[in-house]
Chains A and B, each alone.
Chain A
């Protein structure tokens, strides 16, 4: 598993079968001997032969003390988007790559805006998802959501994207209510040499370059730069919106390891702008620098310390005019406890200085704010019986608005055999207030129609989950998850002048299912389905004129099916089909989209592909929210050339 999830979720260190004291030596000799016996019986080595190439490539072979956590063992609804999946989808941006996760709802709102969520509450300012890039949190404390146009990576250098639907608050903290997305880029050691990418099409153009080299015997580096631009989208009636935009980004990453220590230093800088002279088209820029140190100890324990600085600025004369400077430091330590337990403890501190300017539509009061979050967490993984594992943990996290929040969870996993896992989880997660909940005034000048509520408190979700994962044969695997979330104190409005309140509650229930089937050596099918039923209502006495529909516009279901076919002579043909059900309020019809990609690896240096998105449809809208004009998302064709000298 990736660094992030493997170190934070579930276990890592083999709880030694060693008893304390004088028995220890005897026990370890016995283990060694019996391991040899077990090996002779060969049951377990055979299991390795059943893993896929990618799984094998991700097994940690570290010595006795650390154990690989297989994805199959995680007691959560996790989907991993692999680098190969991204490549073969033809995705050119991070949000488009996220469409590959069956447990996410990804809707493109217009040329630059996406609404992305898991388990409902989807919204262009969706606020219940925690998003990280290489361990750096990228959601904005301004509104607890992500400005997706500001987040970018060199997609070719992404190792994997882990998507957890459901609460992750006990480890990750407030905001990890409905899901966690962690984008993990490759180590610099894995991105050596040069890479050039050129992508051009009717809706966008993109150019990228990366170069990686070695630093002495033990280190490696890479740097990259990329530039891209996106064309306008149109409204339902065909009139253009002046929302064409472009961005550029450059960055680097360096990794070293010496013995038991490994270090990472990485940073990015970006800048973007909308079409000249268009009102409401923001310019933005940002820079970040992150350092991480991992130390592994001989007794099987491990320490990880990470810190980063992040500067992000966005200027939209219509809405947000904001500059945020963030400093974050966190540490975690994991250690085996006796023979059956593994303990993970950690803490962190994040401080941010946020400065805003009044825009045409909104202002924050106070205009500037110092934000601070402090957190402590502990998680214990207990082997209750040979095949039964309990993971209990909690996080305490404070913020300047509501003080300390308690975020506990308990997860139970039963592994009847090496091919199946049954798990269940109970969690409490909160979405702590953002500035937009407390210090927000609309419009920018009095009289105000909406004001942040000084009494607005955290939204709370108590979540029950039940899951089953299986790999019945070498070529077939699938995962099923059912969940029910009980929400309290959700954000609600009032008649103007409206003060933001916490007067919506209710529940959401749903299913998440996905699987993959290797039909033949050259043909792989995969698919996914999610369903969602939300029953939300305003509390008696609430003056909210809109009701729960303001919280999100969610389809009842969505499904997708993908086919990856290897053809002779280096050709590949891939097709993806998805259906997203109708959106309720405001209503938007269901849509189907068919994407296809034809790729050709001409030789070691050159590969070429043509991707058509939304192939059978000149355009369709994917998302709308109350009061917003509906944009058409057009059919696109993208020619992509990759060069690796």
Chain B
């Protein structure tokens, strides 16, 4: 009995401690969830009410897991969020957001080719992300997760990024247009 109590207390302490140690991927996952609220998709890209809002995650298992937890039971603009773990070469149909992790960054050009201007918000975390055509690229600045935005690349996919998101961005830069 006493042991169980101790375990419960430990659990409480740990909940706080784990929070305290928010990892890079937890913060990135939270951002990915938030982005949905600050980007406008063309009306037909989201499906009807209740249709899932699908975030694909490639090359970042940990982020996919974090994102599933953050988004479970949550929705964005009335669409329930679903997270799909992807590997290079997987079909990219039905995605609204695609995150390409560092490990699969080399595949970015093929991925963008495959998307072919479809309204998918492409988010990366590599140095060459934006020049390669990504729309939002995470960077670590002073141990904080920040991001750069290339609105022209987003426009290429018929996406409009709100000024509020642009204002929080570290940099708004010229992407491929």
Residues of chain A at the chain B interface (Cβ within 8 Å)? 14, 17, 30-31, 34-35, 37-39, 42-49, 51, 53-54, 56-64, 66-68, 83-84, 87, 187, 189-190, 192-193, 257, 262, 386, 521-522, 566, 570, 572, 601, 604, 644
Given contacts A34-B10, A59-B145, A521-B38, contact A45 B168 (CB under 8 A): no
3 closest cross-chain pairs (CB), A and B: A67-B20, A42-B69, A48-B30
Given A68-B22, A187-B141, 13 new contacts (CB under 8 A)? A14-B21, A43-B15, A44-B15, A46-B70, A48-B26, A48-B27, A49-B74, A51-B30, A53-B31, A53-B168, A56-B145, A59-B22, A61-B24
* Sample of 5 A–B contacts (CB below 8 Å): A14-B17, A17-B13, A61-B143, A68-B20, A601-B163
- Interface residue B51 (Cβ < 8 Å from any Cβ of A): no
Q: Which residues of A contact B141 (CB under 8 A)?
A: 187, 189-190
- How distant is A246 from chain B, measured CB to nearest CB, in Å? 30
Q: Which stretch, B85-93, B97-105, B118-126, B169-177, touches the partner chain A? A: B169-177
Q: Which of A45, A192, A193, A644 has the most CB of B within 10 A?
A: A45
Q: Which residues of A contact B10 (CB under 8 A)?
A: 17, 30, 34
- Interface residue B110 (Cβ < 8 Å from any Cβ of A): no
- Select B14's contact among A17, A56, A521, A522, beta carbons within 8 Å: A17
Bound-complex Cα distance A56 to B33 (A): 11
Q: Which residues of A contact B43 (CB under 8 A)?
A: none
Contact assessment for A61 and B171 in the assembled complex, using a CB-CB cutoff below 8 Å: no
Contact assessment for B31 and A56 in the assembled complex, using a CB-CB cutoff below 8 Å: yes
Q: Which residues of A contact B165 (CB under 8 A)?
A: 53
- How distant is A568 from chain B, measured CB to nearest CB, in Å? 9
- Select B171's contact among A30, A38, A56, A192, beta carbons within 8 Å: A192
SS class, residues of chain B in contact with chain A:
helix
Q: Which residues of B contact A262 (CB under 8 A)?
A: 142
Bound-complex Cα distance A193 to B172 (A): 10
Name the CB-closest residue of B to A220. B141
- How distant is B64 from chain A, measured CB to nearest CB, in Å? 13
Contact assessment for A190 and B21 in the assembled complex, using a CB-CB cutoff below 8 Å: no
Name the CB-closest residue of B to A63. B21
Given contacts A45-B29, A62-B143, A386-B9, contact A53 B164 (CB under 8 A): yes
- Interface residue B152 (Cβ < 8 Å from any Cβ of A): yes
Bound-complex Cα distance A49 to B83 (A): 15
- Select B18's contact among A35, A66, A257, A521, beta carbons within 8 Å: A35
- How distant is B123 from chain A, measured CB to nearest CB, in Å? 14
Q: Which residues of A contact B30 (CB under 8 A)?
A: 45, 48-49, 51, 56
Contact assessment for A48 and B70 in the assembled complex, using a CB-CB cutoff below 8 Å: yes
- How distant is A477 from chain B, measured CB to nearest CB, in Å? 16
Q: Which residues of B contact A60 (CB under 8 A)?
A: 142-144
- Select A84's contact among B14, B37, B167, beta carbons within 8 Å: B167
- How distant is A261 from chain B, measured CB to nearest CB, in Å? 12
Contact flags (1/0) for B130-174 with A, using CB distance below 8 Å? Answer: 000000000011111110000110000000001111111011111
- How distant is A475 from chain B, measured CB to nearest CB, in Å? 11
Q: Which residues of A contact B9 (CB under 8 A)?
A: 386
Contact assessment for A39 and B69 in the assembled complex, using a CB-CB cutoff below 8 Å: yes
- How distant is A57 from chain B, measured CB to nearest CB, in Å? 6
Name the CB-closest residue of A to B14. A34
Contact assessment for A49 and B19 in the assembled complex, using a CB-CB cutoff below 8 Å: no
Bound-complex Cα distance A521 to B36 (A): 11
Q: Which residues of A contact B12 (CB under 8 A)?
A: 386
- Interface residue B34 (Cβ < 8 Å from any Cβ of A): yes
- Interface residue B11 (Cβ < 8 Å from any Cβ of A): yes
Bound-complex Cα distance A49 to B17 (A): 18
Contact assessment for B69 and A57 in the assembled complex, using a CB-CB cutoff below 8 Å: no
Bound-complex Cα distance A39 to B18 (A): 8
Bound-complex Cα distance A84 to B163 (A): 10
Contact assessment for A56 and B66 in the assembled complex, using a CB-CB cutoff below 8 Å: no
- How distant is B96 from chain A, measured CB to nearest CB, in Å? 16
Chain B residues within 8 Å of chain A by Cβ, number: 52
Given contacts A17-B13, A45-B70, A87-B167, contact A56 B34 (CB under 8 A): yes
- Interface residue B16 (Cβ < 8 Å from any Cβ of A): yes
Contact assessment for B163 and A570 in the assembled complex, using a CB-CB cutoff below 8 Å: yes
- How distant is A45 from chain B, measured CB to nearest CB, in Å? 5
- Select B17's contact among A17, A42, A83, beta carbons within 8 Å: A17
Contact assessment for A189 and B17 in the assembled complex, using a CB-CB cutoff below 8 Å: no
- Select A38's contact among B14, B24, B142, beta carbons within 8 Å: B14
Given contacts A64-B21, A67-B20, A386-B12, contact A84 B144 (CB under 8 A): no
Given contacts A38-B15, A61-B23, A61-B24, contact A49 B164 (CB under 8 A): no
Q: Which residues of B contact A64 (CB under 8 A)?
A: 21
Q: Which of B74, B144, B145 has the most CB of A within 10 A?
A: B144
- Select B72's contact among A35, A38, A42, A56, beta carbons within 8 Å: A42
- How distant is A336 from chain B, measured CB to nearest CB, in Å? 11
Q: Which of B10, B20, B146 has the most CB of A within 10 A?
A: B20
- How distant is B160 from chain A, measured CB to nearest CB, in Å? 9
- Interface residue B82 (Cβ < 8 Å from any Cβ of A): no
Contact flags (1/0) for B69-85 with A, using CB distance below 8 Å? Answer: 11110100000000000
Contact assessment for B13 and A61 in the assembled complex, using a CB-CB cutoff below 8 Å: no
Contact assessment for A38 and B11 in the assembled complex, using a CB-CB cutoff below 8 Å: yes
Bound-complex Cα distance A316 to B143 (A): 46
Given contacts A46-B69, A46-B70, A49-B70, contact A604 B172 (CB under 8 A): yes
- How distant is B120 from chain A, measured CB to nearest CB, in Å? 20
Bound-complex Cα distance A570 to B172 (A): 14
Contact assessment for A31 and B20 in the assembled complex, using a CB-CB cutoff below 8 Å: no
Given contacts A42-B72, A49-B30, A386-B12, contact A61 B18 (CB under 8 A): no
Bound-complex Cα distance A42 to B30 (A): 13
Contact assessment for A44 and B142 in the assembled complex, using a CB-CB cutoff below 8 Å: no
Contact assessment for A57 and B164 in the assembled complex, using a CB-CB cutoff below 8 Å: no
Q: Which residues of A contact B69 (CB under 8 A)?
A: 39, 42, 45-46
Q: Which residues of A contact B17 (CB under 8 A)?
A: 14, 17, 31, 35
Contact assessment for B14 and A61 in the assembled complex, using a CB-CB cutoff below 8 Å: no
Q: Which residues of A contact B31 (CB under 8 A)?
A: 53, 56
Q: Which residues of A contact B171 (CB under 8 A)?
A: 190, 192-193
Contact assessment for B14 and A14 in the assembled complex, using a CB-CB cutoff below 8 Å: no
- How distant is A291 from chain B, measured CB to nearest CB, in Å? 17
Q: Which residues of B contact A62 (CB under 8 A)?
A: 143
Name the CB-closest residue of B to A27. B10
Name the CB-closest residue of B to A415. B16
- How distant is A43 from chain B, measured CB to nearest CB, in Å? 6
Contact assessment for A566 and B162 in the assembled complex, using a CB-CB cutoff below 8 Å: yes
Contact assessment for B144 and A49 in the assembled complex, using a CB-CB cutoff below 8 Å: no
- How distant is B161 from chain A, measured CB to nearest CB, in Å? 10
Contact assessment for A31 and B14 in the assembled complex, using a CB-CB cutoff below 8 Å: yes
Contact assessment for B38 and A61 in the assembled complex, using a CB-CB cutoff below 8 Å: no
Bound-complex Cα distance A51 to B31 (A): 9
- How distant is B28 from chain A, measured CB to nearest CB, in Å? 9
Contact assessment for B27 and A59 in the assembled complex, using a CB-CB cutoff below 8 Å: yes
Name the CB-closest residue of B to A189. B141
Given contacts A14-B17, A49-B74, A190-B170, contact A604 B152 (CB under 8 A): yes
Name the CB-closest residue of B to A41. B15
Given contacts A35-B21, A61-B140, A62-B143, contact A54 B33 (CB under 8 A): no
- Select A45's contact among B13, B66, B152, beta carbons within 8 Å: B66
Q: Which residues of A contact B72 (CB under 8 A)?
A: 42
